């Protein structure tokens, strides 16, 4: 099993199709979207982490470069999304390896925090690699379809990872766009 980090410009059509296939299988309710694009809610990845087994992509995750606002302060975060592994590869630590590799690259690129959103029942998947729930804050996103500000539900899984040395600033969080 090999973990690869690919900048967006390094993803050729064959790799793009393979990653979209993994996403469509892992997220069948969005298979129509992933049949044409990897860009969830219009967010173009800074880079993509993939796991390759015998020349087949079997798992992936993307990192979005986003400046959000925490309180009145602009904060650059490595937004993690599209995290998944094909069913036959789950429970083998592949997602952990992808997340660790992606956050290592994010640290090299100067990010101080990672942020992701997930279903509450899978928070434990991310906690294994140091992610911390951030459920006690108010989160606002801008709906990519309507352009309106929408408060994210309190029970929606929200997590951050401290990559740098500073703690996450206090205050409400405005994603300055839609979630990723």
Q: What is the model's pLDDT at position 43?
A: 85
Distance CA 3, CA 93 (A): 12
Q: What is the DSSP letter of 152?
A: P
Range of 34-48, 52-66, 143-157 with top mean pLDDT: 52-66
pLDDT value, residue 23: 97
**CB contact at 8 A, 19 and 60:** yes
pTM of the entire predicted model: 0.91
Q: What is the distance, to the nearest Å, from the Cα of residue 112 to the centroid of all Cα atoms in its chain?
A: 15
* pLDDT value at residue 96: 97
pLDDT category at 140 given cuts 50, 70, 90 is very high
Torsion angle defined by CA atoms of residues 145, 148, 149 and 152, in that order, rounded to the nearest 10 degrees: -40
Distance from C-alpha of 24 to C-alpha of 31, rounded to nearest angstrom: 4
Please report the domains of the chain, with CATH numbers, ordered by start residue.
2-174 (3.40.630.30)
User: CB within 8 A of 166, min separation 6: which ones?
Assistant: 112
CA torsion sign for 139, 43, 145, 176 is: positive
pLDDT tens for 104-133 read 999 999 999 999 999 989 999 999 999 999
| Cα–Cα distance measured from residue 60 to residue 163, given in angstroms and rounded to the nearest whole number | 20
Report residue 88 as tokens. Answer: 């036959």
Q: What confidence score (pLDDT) does residue 42 get?
A: 79
- What pLDDT does residue 41 have? 80
Give the pLDDT confidence score for residue 165 in this predicted structure.
87
Q: Whose CA is closest to 1, among 83, 87, 95, 82? A: 95
Question: For residue 9, what pLDDT is reported?
Answer: 94
At 126, list the tokens.
């991310």
Instruction: Return the minimum-mean-pLDDT range out of 40-44, 51-55, 166-170.
Output: 40-44
């Amino acid at each position: 099993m090999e973990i690869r980090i690919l900048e967006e410009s390094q993803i050729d059509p064959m790799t793009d199709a393979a990653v979209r296939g993994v996403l469509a299988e892992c997220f069948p309710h969005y298979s129509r979207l992933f049949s044409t694009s990897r860009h969830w809610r219009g967010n173009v990845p800074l880079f993509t982490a993939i796991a390759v087994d015998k020349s087949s992509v079997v798992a992936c995750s993307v990192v979005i470069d986003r400046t959000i606002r925490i309180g009145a302060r602009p904060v650059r975060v490595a937004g993690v999304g599209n995290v998944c592994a094909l069913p036959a590869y789950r429970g083998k630590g592949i997602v952990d390896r992808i997340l660790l590799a992606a956050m290592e690259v994010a640290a090299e690129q100067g990010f101080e925090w990672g942020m992701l959103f997930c279903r509450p029942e899978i928070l434990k998947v991310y906690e294994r690699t140091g992610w911390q729930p951030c459920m006690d804050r108010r989160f606002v996103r801008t709906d990519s379809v309507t352009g309106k500000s929408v408060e994210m539900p309190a029970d929606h899984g929200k997590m951050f990872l401290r990559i740098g040395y500073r703690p996450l600033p206090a205050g409400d969080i405005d994603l300055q766009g839609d979630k990723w």
